[in-house]
A and B are shown apart, each in its own frame.
Chain A
Amino acid sequence: MSEQDYRDPGLVAALAGRIKARNPRPLTIMEVCGTHTMSIARYGIRSLLPPGLRLISGPGCPVCVTDSALISAALAVAGLPGIIFTSFGDMLRVPAGRNSLQRCRDLGADIRIVLSPLDALELAKQNPGQQVVFFAVGFETTAPLTAATLVRAEAEGVDNFSVVPGHKTMPAALRALLARTDNIHGLLCPGHVSAMIGAEAFRFIPEELGKPAAVAGFEPVDILLAVEALTDMAAEGRAELVNCYPRAVRQQGNQRALDLLNQVFQPAEAVWRGLGPIPGSGLALRPRYARYDALSRFSGEIAGREAAADHPGCRCGRVLRGELAPEDCPLFARACTPGSPCGACMVSSEGSCAAAYKYRKR
């Protein structure tokens, strides 16, 4: 079996044909996963769908929804002497005002890209004389990895390690988002978040919010199958949860990951760029692990830092809420480009604006 089978052009064309043949009425489907944003753009899924079937992006990019205040705090920590600051590559160019981790690095800060939080822990073990900080950003697919890493840090007595806690969770944000908008007819649910927390985690979308939901994978066949399922449900007026990614998604998810998540983190309020503060949408460290919170550990040294302001014309908030298409933002491709981004949606490797820019047609 290979993912290549799920990219087969013959199958993709056949599925696109099937959707067209159903002649669906105009619909707006929202995806809430940056990796879906990228897949849809990269494979040109929109061009395969009938006109009237609109795919829009929601706040599914954890990089994009990290607000400036948190990034400024991370930059302040990264700028402290003797700190080795580690982060996934995704965060490196996200702007907070004129600054970014990349710029910080160019100016001399010791900032290193890691591919896994365990690599950051390893750095801490190899550099006992220095503090190693990991920028913990991501949704429920990634948070259990940080949890597992902190459990290991505790077990191995690694004290020179800490994290900037920036993980967020989807359900609370989706509730907040769908509560204030009425023109979304179906939701493409994130396949790998679901692989971790189970498809059941999205049951509330049909049951509380009355919208059809389809858990989708990331290959073109996966996305088209989910879009087809949503159009069918919408046509028949059914609001149900369908798992269109059964090869990876179990109804209950990965229990061990969930246990670790609950052991280390507790729900807390988090500020989402574009959505503001949402109760219960963030993950804070439980008291037992509170000493691994870098913002507390270094609070004295970073107090009094300047909080960066967003670009005055930035409309990332509206884009993240699905109210504005990237192309309709006046800054898009003019003042705001991947090279000189005004906001996070353009700089994140899977932000809606970055995807729209990178994969735009002539």
Chain B
Amino acid sequence: MCLAIPGRVESVDQEAQTALIDYNGVKKSASILLLPDVAPGVFALVHAGFVIQVLEEAEGAELQKLTEECGLV
């Protein structure tokens, strides 16, 4: 239970407390009431119209490592 979709934070409107999220194909705004300090440029998880957490880019490195481990590079 928790359809949360990752997207890139394109811009933040502090006054409206919303962020414009780019879902790799469409953009739509989401509330930042739960993560008011979110910064443009990061990837974030969005659940039911709210940004809930920032996705750590470091994970890209983890995935790379996993791919190498599995001998898939």
CB-contact partner of A35 in B3, B49, B62, B71, under 8 A: B3
Q: A195-B4, A254-B34, A256-B36 are in contact. Are A6 and B63 (CB under 8 A)?
A: yes
- Interface size range on B against A: 20 to 34
Query: Chain A interface mostly helix, strand, loop or mixed?
Result: helix
Contact: B1 with A1, CB < 8 Å? no
List chain A residues, Cβ under 8 A from B50.
116, 118, 144-145, 148
In the complex formed, the residue of A with least CB distance to B56 is A247
Shortest Cβ distance from residue B23 to the other chain A in the assembled complex, whole angstroms: 10
Contact: B1 with A350, CB < 8 Å? yes
Residue B67 CB within 8 A of the other chain:
yes
Contact: A11 with B67, CB < 8 Å? yes
Contact: A148 with B31, CB < 8 Å? yes
Q: A35-B1, A141-B1, A148-B50 are in contact. Are A116 and B31 (CB under 8 A)?
A: yes
Contact: A11 with B49, CB < 8 Å? no
Residue A338 CB within 8 A of the other chain:
no
List chain A residues, Cβ under 8 A from B15.
none
Residue A15 CB within 8 A of the other chain:
yes
CB-contact partner of A117 in B6, B35, B48, under 8 A: B48
Contact: A116 with B49, CB < 8 Å? yes
Contact: A192 with B72, CB < 8 Å? no
List chain B residues, Cβ under 8 A from A138.
1-2
Interface residues of A (CB under 8 A from B): 1-3, 5-6, 10-11, 14-15, 18, 33-35, 60-63, 88, 115-119, 138-139, 141-142, 144-145, 148, 152, 190-193, 195-196, 221, 225, 246-250, 254, 256-257, 260, 350
